[in-house]
Structure 1
């Protein structure tokens, strides 16, 4: 039996043959699978420590995001560069979006442990440099380095859990991950404010290091996930050849130019006709064309295989995650802004409970946007865990996905109907379907993606899912902010005229805190203008959620194995089906 030693030189019969890297040839016409890999089964005790190492990193990543959000104003004042403080967040988000999909392929090349340690090293190095940064430029660069690692923490931890947990139970563990993420995001704001007041803003970065070291040590000692033999036994040179450098470079150019253009449009309030804005968007289109060409025709191991994107379920999952994330993050940023801008609603909420109001609305100092509510975030993540229990019992996810996506549409319609006379209980109850629905959608669609692919594509497909999700998050915030400001400015100019009008309009646009202190005429103009602008934003959110629902319709229902053995059998069955398809094509040619 002749075994080909270099599978990379084998001619490609069609795009799907990339999935057959783990196969060996008996003759020119027949392909047989290698012996099935031993399932990654570990004891409950070891699983606890593995999850502790992975989830502590996820918790810290969420905590870091909201800690930094509360420190933008103090950091800007410290360096006397408040006008550039928004770039601290922008640099991190851009880096996360660009590098998230790369970790899918890296986790196949370096192994789950190697990829996770790389992510933790970059995230930890960037965080440490933030705490020691001597200037605003150094801090912005350090946040970009931290984002290179932060983009891999969620992706690699998700892939590692999938390797260890059967798919039927996977939703429950994903829900638990979401709870920890929401808990970290909820605690970050108050903790960051306390650290800044008590120890200074640098402590918020430096005091993250012990938890990072804890996670690094546990991953080093406990994470040991077996990859297929053909990857495990490869030389370092062969592994390096599997890295898609050209595809990674063009992907970073595509995503980076797009998000940078949208972020500058929102944060710098530049017009669409500005050469910087349209130039970056045009550059993104050009990079995207190069990226598609490279991934389709050039790279033997693409970072984003086009054959996956062309498949029914992966494409539907990717688009549903994108549009769902656009709507979810637009709501997280704009619902608190609506509450802050409507004077009567502020009085109602504060009269009901000052503490409750503070958990629902968390203003971001010095910015016209308010940060997303930790309460809404945590409530959404808890919902994922409870709804995932349904999937664990039934082993089905299609109906749950459609119901969950429908809940998000209902929520955004209810929110779009808000006005200055809306009762307080509506402000609390109307957002609940969005939290339950979106938390469930991102969980069930991830499971649907995993259930529709082969083992060889597991890590790459997970990275693709997180890429569309994180890109949607940034675009949701950027586009909603740009749309809000465009409509708000037009409405304010219609309603406020006379001497000093321009200065007053600028003050109202950049801070809702001055609205209660305005004269009755100006206050009514400001409240009405914010209501009109936010209503358009909320209608757009409803449209995005409706598109998300439509994208969920083509998702296929695949069996969810309840044990490792059933899961391995399903992987082998899918491989055999694929090998038969390739053999038929070979005989036809």
Structure 2
């Protein structure tokens, strides 16, 4: 896992090569006297710092960035709560799933563009563009007068939502890489907080003021973030980048590569979404036509990135390197596993769905079983960052390899435990078996992001961050789509097998609403419960397989000294 001395020297250079230490609180308190003298000698020969911020200025910058992260998480769970009342309002409940799908597709397709835009427009310009698109999209959602216009508005909001990776790039500019994980964990706490309170808050606002108000109430947080980013995020790029003309900057944007990328990801995810939500057969020309279009766009995307684009949005030379490829694939399969526990089709989580449809718990009780996992998600990333910051060996060597493997292994253990759930499983297992998955995945995405940043050249760090988020978001949406498809296919097969004769008309009712199960006659109820148990076990097995693949892709990750 060693690298040549010349490459290692280049990899130790910061993203902005003239950036000085941010402030003394971020410096390593345990540095020896010789390290201090070496630093002094270095400063005596290097040019003045390009970016230097006081502690207060840095706090304001982080407040502006992290308020946007909080808002993004809040918006996701608020909208998930509003899907049912919105569908009823427009009398188009069958189309409500496209509200979530359009946003996810847009985020997934536009996320990698912001890594490139942050180098072209600057950190502030890219972040303000993201906030503007998200703000306009959210405002149009509140003013939408039809389901179709609302779906389009959510797609516009998703174009801005993909830009939140700029906050991660800015933190990399400001924070020493050996402390990067701790700050990523702090951001994840805010993300978890926003996701946790979004659902109850959205429901409360909807009950009092209507679903339109739930979009409008996000405006103060958005305005707060926009003002702070405008005033405080004054990250200067090297002069050779800042002095380019606007036309030259625009020529560096990979429009053709972006278009083919959108076609590749969009057609693939739309095919899975239509197959699941509309129950269209695989043989339908629309489904295989979308998959064919995705494959053709994928080939064109690779050709454009390799032979046409002078500044590709996803450089193939980057993704074919050992560590970037391993990090990208581990994030892809890990996100598939994590989000295979989510079904946006009927707006339920598969784990709570197990408690609702198999254990016959109330919705409130089912939701409470996710509380330990939510806490684990919020603390896992902080733990990984704290280990990297406070453990002497990791701080001096940047060795996150063992922690990465341990995190991946925890996800596998959790998946296997959930697969083994049955009627005799104790309450302790039902409450805590999922915890290692949340803790491990949160830690994994932190350590792999640090490995990606440390494993690429200085000029590739922003693009590499965008590539990481691209694979992560693609895995998330595929996990949602594929798990929903598998669940519905197995569930329908088992229901048709178990419910025959006079009661065969009841086959579809348990699939569309779990609340109907308790009203069925005893024999049909038992058949529905058993069918859900079998279908969910297949989904959980797939989740375990994806976690195992994520673990395998963690093995090739190389360790590099953290600058």
TM-score w.r.t. the length of structure 1 is 0.84
Could you tell me whether the CA contact under 8 Å between 1:314 and 1:452 is conserved in 2? yes
- Is the counterpart of residue 299 in structure 1 residue 309 in structure 2? yes
Q: Give the Å deviation of 1:557.
A: 0.6
Q: Give the Å deviation of 1:359.
A: 2.7
Q: Give the Å deviation of 1:451.
A: 0.3
Q: Quick one: which of 332, 336, 340 aligns to 2:356?
A: 340
Partner of 1:535: 537
Query: In 2, Cα distance between the equivalents of 1:167 and 1:37?
Result: 21
Q: Give the Å deviation of 1:274.
A: 1.2
Q: How does 1:415-454 map to 2 (within 5 A)?
A: 415-454=418-457
Partner of 1:253: 263
Q: How does 1:231-380 map to 2 (within 5 A)?
A: 231-332=241-342, 333-343=349-359, 346=361, 357-360=366-369, 373=370, 376-380=373-377
Could you tell me whether the CA contact under 8 Å between 2:451 and 2:557 is conserved in 1? yes
Partner of 2:83: 72
Partner of 1:205: 215
Query: In 2, Cα distance between the equivalents of 1:476 and 1:233?
Result: 43
Could you tell me whether the CA contact under 8 Å between 1:186 and 1:374 is conserved in 2? no
Query: In 2, Cα distance between the equivalents of 1:282 and 1:300?
Result: 27
Cα distance change, pair 69–355 in 1 and its aligned pair in 2 (3 A): closer
- Is the counterpart of residue 42 in structure 1 residue 53 in structure 2? yes
What secondary structure does 1:65 align onto? helix
Could you tell me whether the CA contact under 8 Å between 1:88 and 1:143 is conserved in 2? yes
Cα distance change, pair 234–337 in 1 and its aligned pair in 2 (3 A): same
Partner of 1:504: 506
CA offsets per residue over residues 184-205 of structure 1, 9 Å max, x none? 1111110110000011100000
What secondary structure does 2:229 align onto? helix
Partner of 1:120: 131
CA offsets per residue over residues 351-375 of structure 1, 9 Å max, x none? xxx9654433xxxxxxxxxxxx576
Could you tell me whether the CA contact under 8 Å between 1:37 and 1:228 is conserved in 2? no
- Is the counterpart of residue 520 in structure 1 residue 522 in structure 2? yes
Query: In 2, Cα distance between the equivalents of 1:39 and 1:496?
Result: 71
- Is the counterpart of residue 96 in structure 1 residue 112 in structure 2? no
What secondary structure does 1:270 align onto? coil
Could you tell me whether the CA contact under 8 Å between 1:40 and 1:163 is conserved in 2? no
Query: In 2, Cα distance between the equivalents of 1:504 and 1:316?
Result: 47
Could you tell me whether the CA contact under 8 Å between 2:185 and 2:381 is conserved in 1? yes
Could you tell me whether the CA contact under 8 Å between 1:321 and 1:472 is conserved in 2? yes
Give the CA RMSD over aligned residues: 2.0
Q: Quick one: which of 173, 178, 186 aligns to 1:163?
A: 173
Partner of 1:364: none
Partner of 1:389: 386
What secondary structure does 1:100 align onto? helix
Q: Quick one: which of 114, 130, 148 aligns to 1:137?
A: 148
Query: In 1, Cα distance between the equivalents of 2:80 and 2:411?
Result: 26
Query: In 1, Cα distance between the equivalents of 2:77 and 2:138?
Result: 14
Could you tell me whether the CA contact under 8 Å between 2:335 and 2:472 is conserved in 1? yes
**Which ranges in structure 1 are unaligned for 5 or more consecutive residues?**
1-15, 24-34, 361-372, 562-589
Q: Quick one: which of 450, 466, 471 aligns to 1:468?
A: 471
What secondary structure does 2:57 align onto? helix
Could you tell me whether the CA contact under 8 Å between 1:183 and 1:378 is conserved in 2? no
Q: Give the Å deviation of 1:81.
A: 1.2
Q: Give the Å deviation of 1:510.
A: 1.3
Q: Give the Å deviation of 1:183.
A: 0.9
- Is the counterpart of residue 194 in structure 1 residue 167 in structure 2? no
Q: Quick one: which of 210, 215, 233 aligns to 1:223?
A: 233
Query: In 1, Cα distance between the equivalents of 2:263 and 2:75?
Result: 26
Partner of 1:106: 117
Query: In 1, Cα distance between the equivalents of 2:160 and 2:236?
Result: 23
Query: In 1, Cα distance between the equivalents of 2:50 and 2:366?
Result: 49
Query: In 1, Cα distance between the equivalents of 2:372 and 2:281?
Result: 34
Cα distance change, pair 252–357 in 1 and its aligned pair in 2 (3 A): closer
CA offsets per residue over residues 129-168 of structure 1, 9 Å max, x none? 1011111111111101000000111x10000100000110
Q: Give the Å deviation of 1:38.
A: 3.6
What secondary structure does 2:145 align onto? coil
Query: In 2, Cα distance between the equivalents of 1:119 and 1:142?
Result: 14
Partner of 1:411: 414
Partner of 2:188: 178
Q: Quick one: which of 119, 140, 160 aligns to 1:149?
A: 160
Query: In 1, Cα distance between the equivalents of 2:286 and 2:188?
Result: 37
Could you tell me whether the CA contact under 8 Å between 2:373 and 2:439 is conserved in 1? no
Q: Give the Å deviation of 1:40.
A: 3.3
Partner of 1:10: none
Query: In 1, Cα distance between the equivalents of 2:51 and 2:411?
Result: 36
Q: Give the Å deviation of 1:322.
A: 0.4
Could you tell me whether the CA contact under 8 Å between 2:372 and 2:432 is conserved in 1? no
Could you tell me whether the CA contact under 8 Å between 2:69 and 2:190 is conserved in 1? yes
Q: Give the Å deviation of 1:121.
A: 0.1
What secondary structure does 2:133 align onto? helix
Could you tell me whether the CA contact under 8 Å between 1:186 and 1:375 is conserved in 2? no
Q: Give the Å deviation of 1:230.
A: 1.2
Cα distance change, pair 37–497 in 1 and its aligned pair in 2 (3 A): farther
Query: In 1, Cα distance between the equivalents of 2:303 and 2:483?
Result: 32
Could you tell me whether the CA contact under 8 Å between 1:187 and 1:374 is conserved in 2? no
